[in-house]
Structure 1
Amino acid sequence: MLELQDVHAYYGKSHVLQGVNLHLTEGEIVTLLGRNGVGRSTTIKAIMGDVVCTGTIRFKGRDILGLKSYEIARLGVGYVPENRDIFPGLTVRENLLLGQKKRHAQGRWSMQDMFALFPRLEERAEVSAGVLSGGEQQMLTICRTLMGDPDLIMVDEPTEGLAPRMVELVADLLRRIAERGVSILLVEQKLTIALEISRRVYVMGHGRVVFEGTPASLSADATIRKEWLEV
């Protein structure tokens, strides 16, 4: 589904990504772990065409490096940024409609699917999105992205600042998305969530992948956790 080989990215003279390699298969949840500033969000932005980079990025066998972000989105890549980026002056329903890939084409996700996944959105369908709680806005952003019918969805720090109950709801939503065959690349700080829902995890440090394996193998590797994850 997705493959990165020797990807390098820069912000000015700062060499942020220094040869990143990773891959995802269909319906797989993979989490990028690591401390702030190690290049996790930049990796997602590189895939989405938001930063200039070198190397190889393939999506469903096609080289997408150098394409515009909207071209990558049309190929089936969804992106949920950390800042959520809802349209606060529009209603919940209008926000969801804006995510539709084609107005008259039926994808694997409908408006009713979104309401079934998160009933609170249906209750507040005609409410301005700007008055939603942080957790509700996060769910709206994920659901709006799904309305574009992506094969891969990349989600940056979805549980940041959320109450424990809302964190559980986000984790459950991600599981249900993967069950429909959508691959998920997740950037997350909370180790417990990553270990609970991921099939594989990558740990990043200094712009490189320093660990790849299953949640169980990471749990068993105290050295990696101490050096690259724990404060």
Structure 2
Amino acid sequence: MLQITDLHAYYGKSHVLNGVEMQIMPGEVIALLGRNGVGRSTTAKAIMGEVAPQGSIRFRGQEIAGLPNHKIARMGLGYVPESRDIFPTMTVRQNLMLGIKNMRKTGRWSIDQMLEMFPNLARRADNPAGVLSGGEKQMLTMCRTLMGDPELIIIDEPTEGLAPLIVTQVGEMIAEIAKAGVSILLVEQKLSIALKIADRVYVMGHGEIVYSGTPAEFATRDDIRKEWLEV
């Protein structure tokens, strides 16, 4: 599904990604773990063309490194940034409609399904999205991305700053996305969420992958946890 080889990225003269290697198989959920500032979000942005990548990023066998981000999105990649960008003056329903890439094709998700999954959004469906809480905006950005029917979705820090109840709801939604057969790259700090959902784990440090394995294997590696995750 996605094959990343020797990926480098820079912010000005700052070398942020230093030879990242990663693979995501069809239907697989990958958790990308690491401390803040090690390059996890930059990896997501490089895949989506928001940061200029150097190296190879192949999606379904096709090289996408260097393509404009709108072309990457139309190929079947979805992206939920940590900024939770929504159109505040448009209604919740209108925000969801903006996520649809092809009005003539029925995807796996509908607006009614999104609103049924999240009653909070349903109650505010015709209200301006700007009045939503932080948790509701996170739900909306995820739902809007799903409306584009992606084959792979990158979700960056979906539970950051959310109340425990909303964290649980977001975790349940990610699990539902996985059940629908969508591949997921989850950038997440909360190990309880990431390890429960993921098929495999990558740990990043200093702009490169320092560990990969299954959640069960990772659970036995206190050395990795202490060196690369604990503050």
TM-score (norm 1): 0.98
Structure 1 letter corresponding to 2:115: F
Q: List per-residue Cα deviations over 1:40-91 (Å, max 9, x = no partner).
A: 0000011001111211100011111111000000000011110110111111
2:28 aligns with 28
The residue matched to 1:172 in structure 2 has which SS? Answer: helix
The whole-number CA distance in structure 2 between the counterparts of 1:63 and 1:166 is 37
- The alignment covers a number of residue pairs equal to 231
Cα distance, 1:103 vs. partner?
2.0
Runs of 4+ off more than 4 Å: none
Cα distance, 1:27 vs. partner?
1.6
Cα distance, 1:128 vs. partner?
1.0
1:157 aligns with 157
TM-score (norm 2): 0.98
1:206-225 matched pairs, under 5 angstroms? 206-225=206-225
The whole-number CA distance in structure 2 between the counterparts of 1:91 and 1:137 is 12
1:128 aligns with 128
Q: List per-residue Cα deviations over 1:117-172 (Å, max 9, x = no partner).
A: 22221121111111111111100000000001110110110000001110010010
What is the RMSD computed on CA atoms of the aligned residues?
0.8
The whole-number CA distance in structure 2 between the counterparts of 1:144 and 1:37 is 27
Cα distance, 1:113 vs. partner?
1.6
The whole-number CA distance in structure 1 between the counterparts of 2:41 and 2:105 is 32
The whole-number CA distance in structure 2 between the counterparts of 1:150 and 1:44 is 15
2:166 aligns with 166
1:71 aligns with 71
Q: List per-residue Cα deviations over 1:163-214 (Å, max 9, x = no partner).
A: 1110010010001011111111011111111111111110000001000011
1:182 aligns with 182
The residue matched to 2:192 in structure 1 has which SS? Answer: helix
Query: Structure 1 stretches of 5 or more lacking a match?
Result: none
1:95 aligns with 95
Q: List per-residue Cα deviations over 1:10-43 (Å, max 9, x = no partner).
A: 1111111000001111221111100111000000
The whole-number CA distance in structure 2 between the counterparts of 1:52 and 1:141 is 24
1:80-119 matched pairs, under 5 angstroms? 80-119=80-119
Return 29-38 or 100-109, whichever deviates more. 100-109
The whole-number CA distance in structure 2 between the counterparts of 1:53 and 1:26 is 23
The whole-number CA distance in structure 2 between the counterparts of 1:105 and 1:225 is 45
The whole-number CA distance in structure 2 between the counterparts of 1:55 and 1:19 is 8
Q: Does 1:40 align with 2:40?
A: yes
